[in-house]
Chain A
């Protein structure tokens, strides 16, 4: 068995989710190759070669792959993938965008967002917003899988010395083109990789009040998240949303402030090690999953918490 892992990157830096995906590949067992498709992504390929357990790095460097448009990258992955038993990608917006297109091109069903590997052909994945866990078996010759990063501890980023292979294939479908990108800037740790996450909901009342959470987060070295209610109300940008349709996090500590705890939100954070809820409504569903609950006005509790930690 040989497993192909699609590297998650921005042409400059290898995203940490790739390490979790390689960890899932290691659990399946077999040779692990990593594909870096991009333009001028040499530093990414070098970083990929150092990942523990990776035996080969395939580097497809072409202008058509610069923005990883699925119309161009998917045919490349499908073509290379014919020689592999498994094709894995992280369940990031990029992985989710590309991989189903690969699966359809190979005429196999895909398994999305696995959280554990039972055997080389059997996997567990959450369904119904994480309210049920399905065990799925694939009889496909090539198993196409996205991996939920929080389900697997990352492998070491150093220690490997993989061989390089340049891939010359250039697929340019010509049906799509990149126009622009607007990335939110933040100095805080990335939400999905942070050890501590502080999240605010509708109870924050406005975007300005998130400054209380930022102050607390900076003291804890935490990332700041939000519920859908806070995003829809325009308090914060949508890439901060934690939940079924936003980001899935599983930090050591999750502090939910002014969040009622709808099932869609719980789906994104209930695998956190310790959950703290601060809410003035003692009936809020969030208290049913919280390890420590504090019934209090957040505008008093959060500044006090910031002072004490």
Chain B
């Protein structure tokens, strides 16, 4: 079966971002960008499904600026067969991305679509669910285990009190949680080979999708800073401070 994986180019998770002085957003100039960590897990899961003989073809898709080709090449080096970039310079909402992905799903007809559960920049946790709604497919969000058998997929999901397993009819949408797998590293020969794999570039217009949004970001501020704390010398002093100064125990 064909598996479609969505990946997003985001600021590297190790970077401590700074808010711009004019409060228009965060400063991403000259900041290291990477594949969103949850998307890496999604690619890894697709590659493992292929290694198990369940998946026959892996298509990766990214929606974003021209530079997102770097992340698509990374996914190709990890084992994806071909890539699609829907090029859009503007920042898109989750709904716009879901609509574009729906257009790609209609075109490619995958049996399984794997996304990350959330992107670490916008922290929205929406796109997978929205894509599932638009396509009418079942959704297995926050997956920690995915097992395909016949025309259905069993997804174990991380929920607040523990774990839940649901069975979805294929085609279906799965979003990955951290514990689904440990992503592999791309090897140098595979990075070289990935340069020769096909990468198709599309535009929202070509897909006939409007990316108009009902949300507008008015401003972005730094969070309130915590006032500096103190170091205590002993446990006894700590308990004394908690009881008499902070009055929390």
Contacts and interface: CB of A to CB of B under 8 A. Distances in A.
B220 interface: yes
A276 interface: yes
Interface in B25-81: 26
B162 A182 contact: yes
Interface in B154-200: 154, 157-169, 172, 177-179
A104 B236 contact: no
Decide if the interface of chain A is mainly helix, strand, loop or mixed. Answer: mixed
A133 B185 CA distance: 33
Contact of B229 (A74, A110, A130, A290): A290
A38 B249 CA distance: 39
Given A70-B129, A138-B214, A294-B235, A238 B142 contact: no
B160 A92 contact: yes
B163 to A, nearest CB: 5
Nearest to A300: B235
Interface stretch (A26-34, A49-57, A172-180, A207-215): A172-180
B142 to A, nearest CB: 6
7 contacts: A100-B94, A103-B130, A129-B123, A135-B219, A136-B217, A181-B164, A245-B177
Contacts of A135: 217-221
B166 A287 contact: no
Q: Which has the most chain B C-beta neighbours within 10 Å: A122, A127, A136, A237?
A: A127
A183 B162 contact: yes
Given A103-B130, A112-B123, 15 more contacts: A70-B141, A102-B133, A104-B133, A129-B120, A130-B223, A132-B222, A138-B214, A181-B163, A184-B161, A232-B178, A239-B161, A263-B16, A292-B238, A294-B238, A295-B231
Of all A-B residue pairs in the complex, the 10 with the closest CB atoms, nearest first, are A100-B129, A104-B133, A104-B130, A140-B214, A175-B138, A100-B126, A176-B138, A291-B229, A183-B162, A179-B165
Contacts of B178: 228, 232, 238, 245
Interface in A203-258: 220, 228, 231-232, 237-239, 244-245, 247, 252-253
Contacts of B172: 175
A264 interface: yes
Interface string A267-309: 0001001111000001000010111111110000100110011
Interface string A121-133: 0100011111111
* B-side interface size class: 35 or more
Interface of B: 11, 13, 16-17, 19, 26, 93-95, 98, 117-118, 120-134, 136-139, 141-142, 144, 154, 157-169, 172, 177-179, 213-223, 226, 229-232, 234-236, 238-239, 241-242, 246, 248-249
* A-side interface size class: 35 or more
B126 A103 contact: yes
Contact of A239 (B122, B160, B231): B160
A209 to B, nearest CB: 18
Nearest to A97: B141
A93 B142 contact: yes
Contacts of A92: 160
A308 B249 CA distance: 11
B230 A173 contact: no
B246 to A, nearest CB: 5
A196 interface: yes
B160 A94 contact: yes
Contacts of B144: 238
A175 B151 CA distance: 11
A274 B248 contact: yes
Contact of A93 (B160, B168, B221): B160
Nearest to A71: B138
A83 interface: no
A287 B226 CA distance: 11
A71 B84 CA distance: 28
Contacts of A290: 229
Contact of B123 (A127, A138, A252): A127
Contacts of A63: none
B239 A132 contact: no
A69 B214 contact: no
Nearest to A107: B95
A117 to B, nearest CB: 14
A100 B115 CA distance: 14
